[in-house]
Amino acid sequence: MFVAERHVRSRPVRDVCALQAVLAIISNKWVPAVFEHLSGATELSYGDLYRRINGASRKMLSATLRNLVRDGLVQRSPRTGPPPQRVYYRLTNLGRSLVDSLDGLHAWADSHVHVIEAARQPRAD
Amino acid sequence: MFVAERHVRSRPVRDVCALQAVLAIISNKWVPAVFEHLSGATELSYGDLYRRINGASRKMLSATLRNLVRDGLVQRSPRTGPPPQRVYYRLTNLGRSLVDSLDGLHAWADSHVHVIEAARQPRAD
DNA sequence: CGGGATCCACGTCGATACTG
DNA sequence: CAGTATCGACGTGGATCCCG
């Protein structure tokens, strides 16, 4: 896991691994969508998320949520009651702080992604 | 590529795709390390980077740099001169702005990654 | 020195079908 | 409603060898 731990003299390389670990989490295809929707509501059921996130299969949504719960970013709250049982998901405080920290990158992406895609054009495709 | 473009009524979902595109770039294993090292110097040669980034094969470093150049985040400057030819890489302005925007997430990762890993423990590894 | 070509292992993602 | 099981497609990453 440790990418660079030597030659740490004057320059940063403060902890690329931590960043990598977080990137590994949020770069899973449906994580950004889940974050986006959960940050816009106090809590959403599995079905709510499934309907809102277009394109994700149930399996992928389940796996995504399970991983986020495992990492303590999302809280799972099953409603043990009448037959149509529902499971609600919400961001934990940790999850919200991550979404907040992601905001800067999010804004950058919104305003610069077109520049990147434009730079890619010259190479066909 | 477009994950969520429908059902954009009142809630955000401002542009998850842009974020995903950027995440797809920076979540490539050696990108964070390359960014880190290039942001700590005006320019570094291929060999410099290869020596600094421990664990990366030449192939992966090449591919990583090629992609970053393609996306306009890194500039490639070959030194056409004496036999031991060298190729220098440096961040473009676009690349630097991305690294800057990544700083918030980087800081978050440094201070919270241990919490996440602690949360993961209970499930045996 | 700075790469590219090839082959292979592995993980992610998707479609489908099935269960409590 | 809320998932799990299985399979297959694809992409990333790594090792090795070769080239200018």
pLDDT classification of B94: cutoffs 50, 70, 90: very high
Single pTM value for the model: 0.85
The 8-class DSSP code of residue A60 comes to H
pLDDT tier, A122 (very low <50, low <70, confident <90, very high otherwise): low
Residue A1 has pLDDT above 60, yes or no: no
Residue A125 pLDDT > 50: no
- Sort out which chain B residues have CB atoms less than 8 A from A12's CB and list them: 36, 39-40
Mode of pairing for the β-strands spanning B44-45 and B86-91: antiparallel
For the cut 90, the answer to whether the pLDDT of residue B5 exceeds it is: no
Q: Do B54 and A119 touch (CB under 8 A)?
A: no
Of the pLDDT bands very low, low, confident and very high (cuts 50, 70, 90), residue A121 is low
Smallest CA-to-CA distance from B99 within B26, B16, B21 is with B26
Q: Which parts of the protein come within 7 Å of strand D, by CB position?
A: A 45-47, 50, 58-59, 62-63, 65-66, 76, 84-87; B 24, 27-30, 55-60, 63-64, 85
DSSP code string of B34-69 = HHHHHTTSS-EEHHHHHHHSTT--HHHHHHHHHHHH
Residue with tokens 């050696």: B30
Bridge partners, A76 (sequence order): A89
pLDDT band at A120 (very low <50, low <70, confident <90, very high): confident
CA of A62 to C1' of D4 (A): 9
Query: Cβ of A109 and B18 within 8 Å?
Result: yes
The reply to whether residue A107 touches residue B101, judged by beta carbons under 8 angstroms, is yes
Mean pLDDT of chain A: 87
The counts of H helices and E strands in chain A are 5, 3
pLDDT of residue B84: 78
What is the identity of the amino acid at A95?
Answer: G
Give B84 or B108, the one with higher predicted confidence. B108
Query: How far does the CA of A64 sit from the C1' of C18, in Å?
Result: 21
The verdict on a CB contact (< 8 Å) between B3 and A33 is yes
